Chain A
């Protein structure tokens, strides 16, 4: 077995996908498709980070949108008020979210299971209330509008966000397939056994929390500069619940599943707009069906589809 290589998708396939992906906005007339793809890339990126925490380390956070909002506001406030360039704002967004996660980790990561989840839930509500009430800095409930954009041409934004997502997944892949990732999985499986082989459980939990918060912070910054506004609602529970749903439906602890599920769920409401408020109902039904019938999530199904396709192509080649 060769470590450090994508097992699920071969590098050649990956490069082809990348090139096709980069070309999409330059061949399609539809800015709507480009818009949807940007959204799905951002959410796929966040789902990847959330999956590292929930799927691999086994920590259930119900307040991850807080880091998304912290990232968005940090970046917006810095770029708008101090006129720093947005890429620097983006890095500051990730770092701020990471630092807050680190401080929080000190306090709450000794809690197990449901207690940790409840604290993260409360934390996100506190962050939302702070944002709503710190009007001089955040604009209160009205949020901040006229945020400086990333690129004047949305196609460049698209390419940037796509490459950023690929970079995030590359880093996540490296982490998961290293001793760090193995420590995360060991903590998820059995903390006591993990300790017995010298894994500093508190430190690795904090690390996982910080990495996933960092990614959420970056995602928040990207979203704010793309939409050119930011609201306190970005920290609300429903956004955190979205991440949880993507991860569970895609396959918690599977590498590619949560990202694909995020893409699917971002596209779904856009295509089912005609049903109006029943969107949320559809959403709920899908979640319930997945939990009952395929508790491992959709990843095994994606995998067998991909393998089936590959085998068929191989056979096709041999027949010729």
Chain B
């Protein structure tokens, strides 16, 4: 069953066409890779799908066209994203950042927030327990009371995922999650992504790191100059000459 269906999505800035009639779909439960050289339109595509830009064409999420919806509305439908940046909620603690991620699921309205009652306090305590569970899942429990900008780069990368997962999405778009990580950390991060997948979340992985793509993805979509140039299993696309040329220039072989 298709959970995300992108149809003829185009986005241009002035005269520059960043995404050009891009079409692809993702089935529920899949882990799909989206790759392409620098400036190929990957980030723009993510911004279009999640409502930060308004593209031409259609983006169907659970059979509903979400083009024109605002990012917070799309997030409320169950499609969440992460960001390349690692600043996040810099001055909030790690625990508070995850609690912020749970915003859609607090079960409180504004007056509940003000009114001092046992049941509201219990709600808040349950929320905190949930948040701590999420921190455990990402191996961040020890850092819970530290400001999020004071933890390690690897920690911040995981926190970004934790915040997005706290919103309990059905599908998550992960934007370059291993950039700047050491080899060992990349392996750990791959484990984390596998674990996320096991919880049933559909994943679209936008990535530069070929090791991650080759090892994790069911299917890979390759874009260049905003258009799809190949699609298939990791093995298929890595042996595709057109992909090799676009991605690394001529005469270089991709290996996993």
Contact B164 A198 (CB under 8 A): no
Picked from A1, A174, A198, the residue with its CB within 8 Å of the CB of B116 is: A174
- Measured between beta carbons, the chain A residues less than 8 angstroms from B87 are 189-190
Picked from A182, A194, A195, A199, the residue with its CB within 8 Å of the CB of B99 is: A182
What's the minimum C-beta distance from B26 to chain A, rounded to whole angstroms?
A: 18
What's the minimum C-beta distance from A222 to chain B, rounded to whole angstroms?
A: 21
A135 at the interface (CB under 8 A from B): no
Q: Which residue of B lies closest to A191 (CB)?
A: B71
A316 at the interface (CB under 8 A from B): no
Contact B75 A197 (CB under 8 A): yes
Interface residues of A in 182-210 (CB under 8 A from B): 182-183, 185-186, 189-190, 192-201, 207
Contact B100 A183 (CB under 8 A): yes
Contact A185 B50, CB 8 Å, known A175-B114, A179-B108, A197-B167: no
Which residue, A2, A3, A179, A192, has most C-beta atoms of chain B within 10 A? A179
Contact A199 B72 (CB under 8 A): yes
B125 at the interface (CB under 8 A from A): yes
Cross-chain pairs A/B with CB under 8 angstroms, 13 sampled = A174-B115, A182-B103, A185-B96, A186-B92, A189-B89, A194-B100, A195-B70, A195-B75, A196-B83, A197-B75, A197-B103, A198-B75, A199-B103
Contact B114 A198 (CB under 8 A): no
- Measured between beta carbons, the chain B residues less than 8 angstroms from A2 are 121
Picked from A4, A171, A175, A195, the residue with its CB within 8 Å of the CB of B72 is: A195
A311 at the interface (CB under 8 A from B): no
B166 at the interface (CB under 8 A from A): yes
A178 at the interface (CB under 8 A from B): yes
A180 at the interface (CB under 8 A from B): yes
- Measured between beta carbons, the chain B residues less than 8 angstroms from A201 are 72
Contact A192 B52 (CB under 8 A): yes
Contact B113 A179 (CB under 8 A): yes
| Interchain CA distance A30-B112 in the complex, whole Å | 42
Contact A3 B128 (CB under 8 A): yes
- Measured between beta carbons, the chain B residues less than 8 angstroms from A194 are 100
Q: Which residue of A lies closest to B88 (CB)?
A: A193
| Interchain CA distance A183-B103 in the complex, whole Å | 7
| Interchain CA distance A200-B110 in the complex, whole Å | 13
- Measured between beta carbons, the chain A residues less than 8 angstroms from B71 are 192, 195-196
Picked from A4, A198, A253, the residue with its CB within 8 Å of the CB of B103 is: A198
Contact B166 A197 (CB under 8 A): yes
Number of interface residues of B (CB under 8 A): 43
Chain A 1-12 against B: per-residue CB contact (8 Å), 1 yes, 0 no? 111100000000
- Measured between beta carbons, the chain A residues less than 8 angstroms from B80 are 196-197
B242 at the interface (CB under 8 A from A): no
Picked from B91, B100, B108, B124, the residue with its CB within 8 Å of the CB of A197 is: B100
- Measured between beta carbons, the chain B residues less than 8 angstroms from A192 are 52, 71, 83
| Interchain CA distance A273-B123 in the complex, whole Å | 52
- Measured between beta carbons, the chain A residues less than 8 angstroms from B85 are 190
Contact A198 B92 (CB under 8 A): no
Contact A182 B108 (CB under 8 A): no
Contact B121 A3 (CB under 8 A): yes
B210 at the interface (CB under 8 A from A): no
B104 at the interface (CB under 8 A from A): yes
- Measured between beta carbons, the chain B residues less than 8 angstroms from A183 are 100, 103
B150 at the interface (CB under 8 A from A): no
Picked from A189, A195, A198, the residue with its CB within 8 Å of the CB of B88 is: A189
- Measured between beta carbons, the chain B residues less than 8 angstroms from A182 are 92, 96, 99-100, 103
Q: Which residue of B lies closest to A179 (CB)?
A: B106
| Interchain CA distance A161-B101 in the complex, whole Å | 38
- Please name 20 further chain A to chain B contacts, defined as beta carbons within 8 Å, in addition to the given A186-B100, A195-B51, sorted by A numbering: A171-B114, A178-B112, A179-B99, A179-B103, A181-B113, A185-B91, A185-B96, A189-B87, A193-B89, A193-B163, A196-B50, A197-B104, A197-B163, A198-B75, A198-B76, A198-B104, A199-B100, A201-B72, A207-B110, A253-B91
| Interchain CA distance A1-B99 in the complex, whole Å | 14
| Interchain CA distance A3-B103 in the complex, whole Å | 16
Contact A174 B113, CB 8 Å, known A4-B121, A179-B106, A193-B88: yes
Contact B121 A190 (CB under 8 A): no
- Measured between beta carbons, the chain A residues less than 8 angstroms from B116 are 4, 174
B90 at the interface (CB under 8 A from A): yes
CB-based closest 3 A-B pairs: A178-B113, A195-B71, A198-B75
Contact B104 A175 (CB under 8 A): no
B81 at the interface (CB under 8 A from A): yes
- Measured between beta carbons, the chain B residues less than 8 angstroms from A253 are 91
Interface residues of A in 1-58 (CB under 8 A from B): 1-4
Contact A180 B110, CB 8 Å, known A192-B83, A193-B163, A197-B167: yes
- Measured between beta carbons, the chain A residues less than 8 angstroms from B52 are 192, 195
| Interchain CA distance A178-B52 in the complex, whole Å | 27
| Interchain CA distance A190-B113 in the complex, whole Å | 22
| Interchain CA distance A197-B75 in the complex, whole Å | 6
Contact B113 A180 (CB under 8 A): yes
| Interchain CA distance A231-B72 in the complex, whole Å | 44
